[in-house]
Amino acid sequence: MAVTMKSVTLSLAKAVSPRTPKFSLQSQIEQYVELPSTEKNERGENDSSIHKSKSRKRLDYLEPLPTNSKSIHLEVENVNKTPTHNKIKGNIQNLLINTPVKKYLVKNGLSSKKTSAAVLGKGSFGTVVKGLYKNTLVAVKVVKLKNFSTTISDINAKDLSHKNVVNILEINMKPEEKHAVIIMEYKEGTKQLQTLLETNIELDRKTKSRFIWDICSGLQYCHDHGILHLDIKPKNILVIENNQCKICDFGNSCAINDIGNYEFQGTAAYAAPELLKGMMPTTKCDIYSLGITIWQIEYRESPYSEWHTTESLIYNVVKHHIRPKHREANDIITELFKRCWDKNSACRPDFPEILQMLGDVR
């Protein structure tokens, strides 16, 4: 369901809306990220015996430099401190970020060649790899720009500084180039909340409440500083040591004073019905997404798994006010997510009220 919703929203709106040794990776890179392959074997069958992951794909990186360009070296830090003349399978490495590399990535992006840098995430937004910047471990996000006039939304978060929001260290982009390079803080062992919820690790009430509290705290800070996230979901929440949560990926965000130029490209299953109808975003849209996320933390299931198309999901959420299935329990968590996803945005609670309710279960 995590797809760009512009075309679907427009079509449905009419029906429902009122309106470390180091080594060099030169231009001819022959390294690979060890990711699942969908290539066929000798019998013409899909070979999945080596790669079991359902969500990861083979990634291609770094186009060779034009013949008339100066050669640069894309160095990779070998975390395991092992000799690199023969690359060890599964070796995790970090792309060394310096001025020449940043210029190269802004110009070429991560495209046709491969790099041995560890991939942290990939999607329609771009690719995130693990990097080393000024001797500090970082996440490096490379985004392909459609045009420079449509500035990447991640820039909305560049001045945010909060313990529950991922800190952006630097953004590199130029009007004449096709890519943006975003350097963000990263801690070893960081996991997506989505990944954690899909495991069999037991999460007690205190841990779940801590997750919710941190997300609310970070989101309230964003709103207080004039930023709507507009794509709150477990995949955009990182969990670091001590179960601390940090909000990340502001690629669908919007400045409150610039909502007139907003174009929804978020995730339908977590989007407020008024947003799906094409209305202007408000802070209550984030509260709605928070409600779906709280439900997912409680039930550890994907919302609306019974709907097989985005169109049917949007229609039922907007027209029939369908929400994720849940037990009618008499507890604060249930009351909280039900109030957050209320069809009437004015009835959704604000953060002081939410945090006061959570104070009873922390």
Q: Where are the domains of the chain?
A: 6-11+190-358, 20-185
Token pair 């690979």: residue: 32
Q: Using only C-alpha atoms, what is the Rg of the chain?
A: 22
Say which residues have a Cβ less than 8 Å from residue 39's Cβ, sequence separation at least 6.
46, 47
Q: What is the pLDDT of residue 108?
A: 86
| Segment among 137-146, 234-243, 285-294 with least mean pLDDT | 137-146
Residue 150 pLDDT > 70: no
The amino acid at residue 85 is H
Q: What is the pLDDT of residue 149?
A: 47
pLDDT band at residue 361 using 50, 70 and 90 as cut-offs: low
What is the reported pTM?
A: 0.74
Higher pLDDT, 188 or 360: 188
The amino acid at residue 171 is I
Sign of CA dihedral 109, 114, 119, 123: positive
Mean pLDDT for 156-163 is 93
pLDDT band at residue 21 using 50, 70 and 90 as cut-offs: very low
Question: Could you give the CA distance from residue 348 to residue 291 in angstroms, rounded to a whole number?
Answer: 9
Is 141 assigned a ligand-binding role in the annotation?
A: yes
Q: What is the pLDDT of residue 156?
A: 87
Taking CA atoms, 291 is separated from 148, 275, 277, 341, in Å, by: 34, 15, 19, 5
Q: Which CATH architecture has domain 20-185?
A: 2-Layer Sandwich (3.30)
Residue 301 pLDDT > 70: yes
Token pair 């996440």: residue: 139
| Segment among 91-95, 147-151, 232-236, 279-283 with least mean pLDDT | 147-151
231 is catalytic: yes
pLDDT band at residue 67 using 50, 70 and 90 as cut-offs: very low
Say which residues have a Cβ less than 8 Å from residue 230's Cβ, sequence separation at least 6.
252, 253, 254, 262, 264, 266, 271, 275, 281, 285, 286, 289
Mean residue pLDDT of the chain comes to 78
Same fold across 6-11+190-358 and 20-185: no
Mean pLDDT for 339-347 is 97
Mean pLDDT for 41-61 is 38
Q: What is the pLDDT of residue 215?
A: 98
Say which residues have a Cβ less than 8 Å from residue 241's Cβ, sequence separation at least 6.
187, 189
pLDDT band at residue 174 using 50, 70 and 90 as cut-offs: confident
Residue 3's Cβ-count burial label (10 Å; 0-12, 13-18, 19+) is middle
Superfamily of domain 6-11+190-358 in CATH is Transferase(Phosphotransferase) domain 1 (1.10.510.10)
pLDDT band at residue 325 using 50, 70 and 90 as cut-offs: very high
| Segment among 66-75, 184-193, 215-224 with least mean pLDDT | 66-75
Active-site residue, from 159, 214, 224, 231: 231
Mean pLDDT for 281-298 is 98
